[in-house]
Structure 1
Amino acid sequence: MIRSATLTRVLLIRPGATDFDDQGRMKGCLDMPLSSRGAEQAALLAKELASVSVKTIYSSPCESARETAKRLADEQRAAGREVKVKIIDAFKNLDHGLWHGKLIDEVRRNHPKVYRQGVERPDEFCPPGGEPVAGAKARVDKALRKCLKKGRDNVVAMVIPEPLASVVQCLLSGEDLASVWKSETDSASWSMIETEM
């Protein structure tokens, strides 16, 4: 008898924007709070997702993700649910090395070869002095599997900033990573992914 694989539902949430997101800058693993626009986005996102019941929200350690996760948890509690937020160090965003704070448009103009690599071969992309995307995938994979195993019978909620959120989405869906640059800034968006991972 063949058993069908059980699908786990993952609610992947991008945090509200920071000042660097608003300016089109690479924040990478810099720890930045939500901008005023990002705080509004996170509040709206929390209300939008209030009907999705979650028991645990796994969050990146960065301040914008933690603030967004707190708003989501507060909204869940207001709906009468018990929910906890767990910070996962392995969900730390991609390290952009020497390019932290650099305008994305500046990278496109001044480093066209590396910019093109981020579009055409994102798994090989690595900013100067930073973390390769392939290294981030390996770092996140084990923690991701552990979170999924713990939440197998529930919706697993994760608040992870871009571009790491896109890396996680690719791991969950089995799809290839699209351009690093299209997913560089956060926009308080979410997606529900069913995975056999």
Structure 2
Amino acid sequence: MKQLVLVHTGITEYDKQGRIQGTLDVPLSKVGRDQIEAITQELAPLGATNLFTSPGQASVQTSEILSAALSLKVRPLDKLTNINYGLWQGMLVEDVKLKQPKVFRKWQEQPATVCPPEGETIPKITDRVAEVMTKITKKVKPDSTTLLVAPAPLASIVRHVVTGADLGNLWQSFEAAGSWEIFPLDKPVKVEIGGP
């Protein structure tokens, strides 16, 4: 059975500050590097044969640490960019909550119905992620284990597309930074999301 190991990009200074990163190119913090170095020992016994990464400095740095420890070639996936939060990028989550309380609450309860100003909708990014995951599923060999490095909240979208799991709180998805989870990758999930 094909397996996907979803590796959450290590933490950045923006994560620690509670800022919205989106597509901003922010590097790993020292803590983030330590997180990834620590999980390499956990990932080694899985015998991964593929390592894909979303673009962005923190994801690439995460992948480079994994690549060196696990002797895997990094394959970047340009279409797997993080959610574009538009004008919210760089803002503190708390500022969005105070300045736009209705939008903030709606984003928590029904994220598929909200588009950040000059940003990207959840249905749009879900379609993009589903396209990438379908290609990966077809490309990798049977009975292989594939590592995929993704930042928050993109990792939540990947999990949603692969397993059909609930999106969860996209504002707090960075709390999983520096962790990993494993799923079967044999049958891509068809995900229906309403919204703009």
**Is TM > 0.5 for Structure 1 vs Structure 2?**
yes
Q: Pick from 136, 149, 158 the counterpart of residue 159 of structure 1.
A: 149
1:185: how far off? 5.5
1:131 and 1:51 map into 2 onto residues whose CA distance is 38
CA contact (8 A) 1:123 1:177 kept: no
5+ residue gaps, structure 1: 1-6, 78-82
Please, what TM-score do these two structures have when normalized by structure 1?
A: 0.89
CA contact (8 A) 2:106 2:114 kept: yes
Counterpart residue identity of residue 146, structure 2: V
1:184 and 1:35 map into 2 onto residues whose CA distance is 13
Equivalent residue number for residue 80 of structure 1: none
Equivalent residue number for residue 39 of structure 1: 33
1:16 and 1:124 map into 2 onto residues whose CA distance is 29
Q: 1:184 to 1:110 in 2, by over 3 A?
A: farther
Counterpart residue identity of residue 20, structure 2: M
Query: Where do 1:16-165 residues align within 5 Å?
Result: 16-77=10-71, 83-153=72-142, 154-165=144-155
1:133: how far off? 1.1
CA RMSD of aligned residues (A): 1.4
Equivalent residue number for residue 187 of structure 1: 177
1:116: how far off? 1.0
Equivalent residue number for residue 4 of structure 1: none
2:107 and 2:118 map into 1 onto residues whose CA distance is 15
Counterpart residue identity of residue 133, structure 2: L
Aligned to 1:137, the other structure's residue is in SS state: helix
Equivalent residue number for residue 173 of structure 1: 163
Runs of 4 or more, structure 1, over 4 Å off, are: none
Please, what TM-score do these two structures have when normalized by structure 2?
A: 0.89
